[in-house]
Amino acid sequence: MKTDLPQTVRLADYEPPAFSVDAVDLTFDLEPQRTVVTAVLQLRRTGGAPGGPLVLDGENLDLLEVLVNGKKLSPPAYETSEDALTVFDPPEALTLETRVAINPKANTRLEGLYVSNTMFCTQCEAEGFRRITYFPDRPDVMATYRVTLRGDKAAYPVMLSNGNNVSNTDLGGGRHEAVWEDPFPKPSYLFALVAGDLAMVEDRFKTQSGRDVTLRIFVEHGNEDRCDYAMDSLIRSMRWDEERFGLEYDLDIFNIVAVSDFNMGAMENKSLNVFNAKYILADASTATDADFANIESIVAHEYFHNWTGNRVTCRDWFQLSLKEGLTVFRDQEFSSDQRSRPVKRIQDVRALRARQFPEDSGPLSHPVRPDAYIEINNFYTATVYEKGAEVIGMMQTLLGQDGFNDGLRLYFERHDGQAVTCDDFVAAMADANGKDLSHFKRWYSQSGTPEVTVTSAYDAGKKAYTLTLEQMTRPTPGQSEKQPLHIPLRIGLLGANGGDLDLVSDSGALDGGLVHLTEERQTVTFTNIPDRPVLSVNRGFGAPIALNTDQTDADLAFLMAHDSDPFARWEAGQQYATRLMKAAVTAMASGEAGDPKGQDAFVAAVKNILEDNSLDPAFKALAITLPTEEFVGEQLPVVHVDEIHAVRAALRRKIGADLQAEFRAAMAANEVREPFAPTAEQAGRRALRNAALAYLTADYGPEAAKLAKESFDRADNMTDTIAALSILTEVDGPERSAALEAFETRWKDNAQVMDKWFALQAVASRPDTLSHVKALTKHPCFDIRNPNKVRSLVGAFAMANPVRFHAKDGSGYTFLADSVIELDSLNPQVAARMLGTLGSWRRYDADRQALMRSALERIVAVPVLSKDSYEIASKSL
Ligand code: ARG
Ligand code: ZN
């Protein structure tokens, strides 16, 4: 907690460390309320002013002792402050020994060493290690670690840290000791320890060069039989990384621990990944298909970090995307190969648009490589992660898969064991391919979503088709002037029969089906085009841009039916639906009648999709799902919350009513009768079946309640249960409470499943939702100290229920501000995440603007506010 104004940290001020640490020897005497940490550091001056002091980071530490080269120091030879230990006149090389006491049990921030249920665990990224011991807590200080853990044998039979377990000793008196050594030098943020009474599941993996690796997943007792899918995902990830990139695991042991209280998804600590239990535990009765897919991708993500993050790490936290963007790209590729590539792409683009686009157009917009921060934890963002992954993906597009692989090989050749920058990564890519990527690199430093406008002209006499492409990026905080970016656009031209025409052009910008838009304005002329074609542009969503085109409704319907690029086929439907909804919202907001007739052609296009036997069910489910209310809102000058909600609901009712027979047929055809399996194939059928059910029940009337309740009662897996329950939470009538109660009775002892129950009630669009949410904060299963619970209830309400969160009377904002203020004193990282939604206040009408601003002002005015919440709230205003 800071009472003085928080400091901004700038990339431009980067200085190499004054002292490096070669080796660390840590000893933990583990007690929940008083753990004593002894640290012996081998330090060596590597920079800074000659003779300058040795400054180590440290927060919330009770310093017991300091020794230099075995000699005890006392002030003024050293000095401590709120966040540092300073040793004056240090030798050029020294052994520094410190002993500190910490209170893990009181650590509600869940950064550093803390207690979750009864187990000890750690989260050190980004700057948690300084809450464990005094240390130069920055990623460019890499050391080898030897860790001794001592604790009660009965309470902590399992004691883990990074690397290899080199000894275990009974200490007598009911205590024991375990020693771990990690041979790979690593930054402090990758340190981890776990101690507890845990169950374990074990498997093995043989690497391509023949190394036998023991794989272990540790969970709380009773969860052993819910680890199979995570273990299988791990094994598939290890194999995939060898096959795709030739990257092999480098130790004999790989451990994963599932923890109930965790601020984020998971953490890639060297050989000891710590996970939010939500992303490990699964079986048919407790996990949805989406949960299984998340487990697969997050297990892979953390495993992939062993090379992209651990073996090569970040020089400083501004380079976070060096490891995160690259590793997200890798996990997306993995999931695409394991499942359906087009379906994965659509899901990723949906997520990018839902989270990254709004971030990039709001007050918290920042580049993939930010140049300033107050609290680094606030920069684990969709921009650094997902837009970062898009930037990597564009490099692969520019270099080809072989060229990209060559670049990656050179990157590891040059930088294995180092802490490097995004520039180093791009240089390896460029050098391996003999390409100049300096223009492309602007994607790292320029924030904002580029808007590309494409206009077309057909010259029937010359049989020539000309595209004019223009790019523009709006100003973002701190960047009023924008430069053109290098935007690779995959293009197709469809002929009258729906097939792709050959692309012939003398324009240098065209390279295969790829147009390189590098300037503000370019034209490309295609020759030999018999008739005016239908344009398909940014196929595969190869560039993370917003697009304006002159496509007609008929063009979009044509693309929905024929585009050879599945992403573009889906996208055409989204654009078409968005266009209809925007028009209806605008009409409604100005008191005019809409044009429901215009919607019939769209419904016909949806019918086509449903009946197209060449499409797989997972794709169909996505293609018939309308863009979210949030997405429609972003396309409008002012977010008309209530009108958007009404229009989207009405369009869903219309589609449901017009295509009753088709949806019934789709439900019947996609009923899964085999035993549940978490495969993409079954998941696709369930998705389509449940999307059809949702359309059939879109009016939430008595018939809908009956149909949904029937489905709820019949469900034998969590996916179908949740699909039915999400409809039932919207209906009025006895089915709603009957289903909610049945679910609660069955699952009240399973915290992870109860999270779903909280979330469903929080996102219900019914007018009484906020009062339910408030009542649920008093539910015995709710706990404000558990991040998953907060995200399920408060987070879901504020981030996934636009019509109720933005209630005209401001009640949603007041509830959020109250929750954030309460949470900030316990867990600033989670509090700061919750309040991000208020940052979009400029997008709403004047009344809502005022209410959202005053909620933000109330947060900023809290006398003792964390850096985390202060940064988000103050930048939002
Ligand atoms: N490196 C982790 C991952 O993406 C995330 C850690 C986030 N920690 C934080 N304090 N923000 O795999
Ligand atoms: Zn990551």
For the CA of 324, the closest atom of ligand 1 is 4
Cis amide linkage into residue 126, ω under 30° from 0: yes
Pick the atom of ligand 1 nearest to 268's CA.
12
- Interval between CA 264 and ligand 1 midpoint (Å): 6
Q: Tell me which of 122, 125, 190 to substitute to probe ligand 1's pocket, judged by most ligand atoms within 8 Å of the beta carbon.
A: 125
Summarize pLDDT for 417-430 with one digit per residue, the tens: 999 999 999 999 99
Q: What are phi and psi of 569, to 5 degrees?
A: -65, -45
Residue 363 has pLDDT above 90, yes or no: yes
Q: Which ligand is nearest to the CA of 189?
A: 1
Cis peptide leading into residue 76 (ω within 30°): yes
How far is the centre of ligand 1, averaged over its atoms, from the C-alpha of 644 (Å)? 35
CA 326 / ligand 1 centre spacing (Å)? 14
Predicted confidence band of residue 509 (pLDDT cuts 50, 70, 90):
confident
Written as one letter, the residue type at 198 is L
pLDDT category of residue 1 using cuts at 50, 70 and 90: very low
Residues 6+ positions from 148 with CB-CB distance below 8 Å: 25, 26, 27, 28, 177, 178, 179
Is the CB–ligand 1 distance for residue 268 below 6 Å? yes
Q: Is 124 near ligand 1, meaning CB less than 6 Å away?
A: no
How much is the average pLDDT of 55-63?
98
Cβ 719 under 6 angstroms from ligand 1: no
- Tens digit of each residue's pLDDT (9 = 90 or more) over 804-842: 999 999 999 999 999 999 999 999 999 999 999 999 999
State if residue 300 touches ligand 1 by the CB under 6 angstroms criterion: no
pLDDT over 60 (residue 319): yes
What CATH number is given for 749-876 in this structure?
1.25.50.10
**Pocket flag, ligand 1, residue 267 (CB < 6 Å):** yes
Per-residue CA distances from 569 to 299, 487, 537, 556 (Å): 31, 21, 11, 9
324 in contact with ligand 1, CB cutoff 6 A: yes
Check pocket membership of 266 for ligand 1, CB cut-off 6 A: yes
Please give the share of the chain, as a percent, with pLDDT higher than 90: 97
Query: What spacing in Å lies between the alpha carbon of 364 and ligand 2's midpoint?
Result: 21
Rounded-to-integer distance, Cα 565 and Cα 559, Å: 9
Q: Kindly give the distance from the C-alpha atom of residue 78 to the centroid of ligand 2, in angstroms, as a whole number.
A: 37
Ligand sitting nearest the alpha carbon of 190: 1
Active site residue 302: yes
Span from the CA of 378 to the centroid of ligand 2 (angstroms): 14
Q: How many CA atoms lie within 13 A of 394 on its CB side?
A: 28
Cβ 302 under 6 angstroms from ligand 1: yes
Residue with tokens 């060069």: 209
Confidence check: pLDDT of 579 > 60: yes
Burial 143-182 (b: 16+ CB within 10 A, else e): bbbbbbbbbbeebbebbbbbbeeeeeeeeeeebbbbbbbb
What is the Å distance from ligand 2's center to 324 Cα? 5
Distance between Cα 422 and ligand 1 center (Å): 18
- Please name every residue paired with 690 in a beta bridge, in sequence order, or none if there are none: none
First to last CA, the chain: 21
Ligand 1: atom nearest CA of 309 is: 1
Pocket of ligand 1 contains residue 177 by CB under 6 Å: no
What's the CA-to-centroid distance between 263 and ligand 1, angstroms? 9
Q: Is the CB of 293 under 6 A from ligand 1?
A: no
Q: How far is CA 167 from CA 53, 173, 250, 255, 458, in A?
A: 37, 19, 20, 17, 76
Dihedral pair phi/psi, residue 97, rounded to 5°: -120, 130
- Ligand 1 atom showing the smallest separation from residue 305 Cα: 12
Instruction: Provide the 10 A C-beta neighbour count for residue 540.
Output: 17
Proximal ligand: closest to the CA of 827: 1
Task: Determine contact, residues 463/559, Cβ cutoff 8 Å.
Answer: no
- Give the ligand whose atoms come closest to the C-alpha of residue 125: 1
Residue minimizing CA distance to atom 11 of ligand 1: 377
What type of residue sits at position 776? L
What atom in ligand 1 is closest to the CA of residue 377? 11
Other CB atoms within a 10 A radius of the CB of residue 843 amount to 18
pLDDT at 216: 99
ipTM over 0.95: yes
**Residue 268 pLDDT > 70:** yes
Can you give the residue ranges of every domain in the chain?
A: 9-196, 312-444, 450-543, 749-876
Superfamily of chain region 9-196: tricorn interacting facor f3 domain (2.60.40.1730)
Q: Which of 188, 264, 275, 331 to mutate to test the pocket of ligand 1 (most atoms within 8 A of CB)?
A: 264
The residue behind tokens 């404000």 is: 784
* Structure confidence at residue 595 as a pLDDT band (50, 70, 90): confident
| 273 alpha carbon, closest ligand | 1
Tens digits of residue pLDDT in 284-303:
999 999 999 999 999 999 99
Residue 182 alpha carbon to ligand 2 centre in Å = 21
Q: What is the mean pLDDT of residues 497-513?
A: 88
For residue 839, CA distances in Å to 361, 447, 846, 854, 875 come to 10, 17, 15, 12, 8
Report the largest interatomic distance among the alpha carbons of the chain, rounded to a whole angstrom: 96
For the Cβ of 830 lying below 6 angstroms from any atom of ligand 1, the answer is no
Establish whether residue 868 lines the binding site of ligand 1, counting it when its CB lies within 6 angstroms of any ligand atom. no
Question: Which residue's CA is the nearest one to ligand 1's atom 1?
Answer: 267
- Substitution site in 111, 121, 267, 279 for ligand 1 pocket (most atoms within 8 Å of beta carbon): 267
Mutate to test the pocket of ligand 1, among 259, 263, 380 (most ligand atoms within 8 A of CB): 380
Q: What is the mean pLDDT of residues 458-479?
A: 97
For residue 463, give both structure tokens. 């049989």
Report the C-alpha gap between 725 and 723 in whole angstroms: 6
Q: Half-sphere exposure of 22 toward its Cβ, with a 13 Å CA cutoff?
A: 8
Q: Is 296 in the pocket of ligand 1 (CB under 6 A)?
A: no
* Secondary structure (DSSP) of 593-644: ---TTHHHHHHHHHHHHHH-TTS-HHHHHHHTSPPPHHHHHHTSSS--HHHH
How confident is the model at residue 2, as a pLDDT?
44
| Average pLDDT over the chain, rounded to an integer | 97
Phi first, then psi, for residue 613 (nearest 5°) are -75, -10
Identify the band that residue 506 occupies on the pLDDT scale cut at 50, 70 and 90. Answer: confident
CB 127 near ligand 1, within 6 Å:
no
Given a contact cutoff of 8 angstroms between Cβ atoms, the answer to whether 264 and 380 are in contact is: yes
Name the residue at shortest CA distance from atom 3 of ligand 1. 267
Helix (H, G, I), strand (E, B) or coil at 115: strand
Nearest residue (by CA) to ligand 1, atom 8, is 125
Q: Is the CB of 380 under 6 A from ligand 1?
A: yes
302, 333, 359, 386: the catalytic one is 302
Strand partners, 40: 25, 97
Q: What percent of the chain has pLDDT over 70?
A: 99
Between β-strands 266-267 and 313-314, what pairing exists: parallel, antiparallel or unpaired? unpaired
Q: Is the peptide bond before 705 cis (omega within 30 degrees of 0)?
A: no
Residue 351 neighbours by CB under 8 Å, 6+ apart: 382, 386
- Segment 164-211, tens digit of pLDDT: 999 999 999 999 999 999 999 999 999 999 999 999 999 999 999 999
Neighbouring CB atoms inside 10 A of 467's CB total 24
The confidence score (pLDDT) of residue 3 equals 52
389 in ligand 1 pocket by Cβ < 6 Å?
Answer: no
Please list, residue by residue across 270-280, b when 16 or more beta carbons sit within 10 angstroms of its beta carbon and e when fewer do: bbbbbbbbbbb
Distance 739 CA to ligand 2 centre (A): 38
**CB-based burial label for 631 (10 Å; 0-12, 13-18, 19+):** buried
For ligand 1, whether the C-beta of 824 sits within 6 Å is: no
Same fold, 9-196 and 450-543: yes
Please report how the helices 422-433 and 320-338 are oriented relative to each other, as an axis angle in degrees rounded to 10. Answer: 60
Mention the CATH class of domain 312-444. mainly alpha
Ligand 1 atom showing the smallest separation from residue 298 Cα:
12
Beta bridge partners of 580: none
74-132 tens-digit pLDDT:
999 999 999 999 999 999 999 999 999 999 999 999 999 999 999 999 999 999 999 99
Per the listing, tokens 């009025």 go with: 732
What is the CATH code for 450-543?
Answer: 2.60.40.1840
